[in-house]
Structure 1
Amino acid sequence: MTDRLTHTPRSDALVNRERILDAAREVFAADGLSAPMREVARRAGVGPATLYRHFPTKESLITAAFRDQMRACRAIVHEGLADPDAWRGFCFVIEELCVLHARNGGFTAAFMSAYPDAIDFGADRGAALAAVAESARRAKATGRLRPDFVIDDLILVLMANAGIDAEAAPERVAASRRFAALAIQALRAAPDASPLPPVPRLAPAIPR
């Protein structure tokens, strides 16, 4: 009985924390990072006091909500860097980052934002961007990446990718892969006529 009394509150707290994080990802994906904390609490089915006990600030909530996505982001970049074919590795990074952001609606906004209190998140983002810059440097050395590419171009690609609007996740991911292929063609030092991935249906059929 003593063991149950000791561990049950901790289990409840962990359940509440996960419910809050799941709700935060849904709310921020739908309404952006400006969504109020009370909406996150409502979606999670907890009171504001419970929410603030776990996450005293919105910055701490956003950082925790997207920590796994940030780790995945860094893993993608380092996998691309490990490819002996620098251009292929760079293309892998562009495509998989677009897909990662497409699968996690609020992550792009979180990635772009700067929170002074979220030290770990900011450090991870800086490391990821530095790794992308190194991947780009290697790709330029092959002569296949246009020489005027700068890291801000990646930010433009991710911002545009975030605008893909599809209700179902499979269509959103398919659209993101096609968009990434278009972006990669634009970043090539020389034109390429490789076929694009299939395009999903994103708009009603045009009547004949």
Structure 2
Amino acid sequence: MPAVRDASGGTRRRRPAEVQELLLGAAEKVLIRRGMSANAQEIALEAGVHRSVLYRHFGTAEDLVRLAALRPFREFLGKIRLMTDASALGEPMPLWDLMLGFLGNLFDIVDEHHDFLAMAMSATSPFSAAEQGELRRELDRILDAIVDLARREGIPRGLDPDAIAANTRLTITMVMGAIAYGSWLLPERTGTPQRSQLIEEMANFILNGTRLVPDDGKRADHETPHRA
């Protein structure tokens, strides 16, 4: 198993989860450069490991590529679970804070993996029709899990239960569009210094729409909800 230096300057063997993350990151970089012509040897070389390590953890290069394509959404699901679990165990978060956390985590992850997602999900995606179909099915399962969390947290805070599924996917689409085309369409809202302002504006748009809502009308979204 590949080794890594620890804080004391010595070396230790990487844990399996660390090796898997290393290989997923390497697959993402190689696929951006090479498309589906990338092979297991190139991915292993990028990760700094022997090709046998790739096969030990993922079975085939195709399995690794598929998991790499889903990785950003799985990361987002994990972050949202941590946030909502913390709210469930401690003091419940106001809806406004949950929305800011949802959007902030999503912006961070989509931005980090933007080049790969743009390649994988474009009309000229290098994935075959069969591979795209499988990816869509798996992505649907992940998005459905995100929707379940949004429903669990949103309904007690007054969100429309019939609209949560569509609105959650629309929110994810909006963030991905803002990152992909923000430099053109939102030139004064792109870049790290402006991100918090953009996230607050998006949260306000999602929760209040285009209506002019007085501050008194927004107060409930900023209040800690009562437990059932």
TM-score where L is the length of structure 2: 0.50
C-alpha root-mean-square deviation of aligned residues, in Å?
4.8
Residue 177 (1) aligns with residue 186 (2): no
Q: Work out the CA distance in 2 between the residues paired with 1:164 and 1:80.
A: 33
The answer to whether the 8 A contact 1:69-1:100 is kept is: yes
The answer to whether the 8 A contact 1:76-1:96 is kept is: no
* Residue 127 (structure 1) aligns with: 145
Residue 92 (1) aligns with residue 112 (2): no
* Residue 186 (structure 1) aligns with: 205
Q: Work out the CA distance in 2 between the residues paired with 1:114 and 1:83.
A: 39
Name structure 1 gaps, 5 residues minimum: 1-10, 195-208
Partner AA of 1:152 in structure 2: R
Residue 101 (1) aligns with residue 110 (2): yes
Query: How far does the alpha carbon of each residue in 1:40-96 deviate from its partner, in whole angstroms, 9 at most, with x for none?
Result: 334224565553443214344553783555422432354567734223323332233
* Residue 79 (structure 2) aligns with: 72
* Residue 201 (structure 1) aligns with: none
Name structure 2 gaps, 5 residues minimum: 1-12, 122-131, 184-189, 216-228
Residue 179 of structure 1: CA displacement? Answer: 3.1
SS in 1 for 2:180: coil
The answer to whether the 8 A contact 2:30-2:43 is kept is: yes
TM-score where L is the length of structure 1: 0.53
Q: 1:26 to 1:12 in 2, by over 3 A?
A: same
Partner AA of 2:79 in structure 1: A
Partner AA of 1:153 in structure 2: L
Q: 1:50 to 1:141 in 2, by over 3 A?
A: closer
* Residue 24 (structure 1) aligns with: 27
Number of aligned residue pairs: 173
Q: Work out the CA distance in 2 between the residues paired with 1:40 and 1:21.
A: 9
Q: Work out the CA distance in 1 between the residues paired with 2:63 and 2:100.
A: 32
Q: 1:141 to 1:130 in 2, by over 3 A?
A: closer
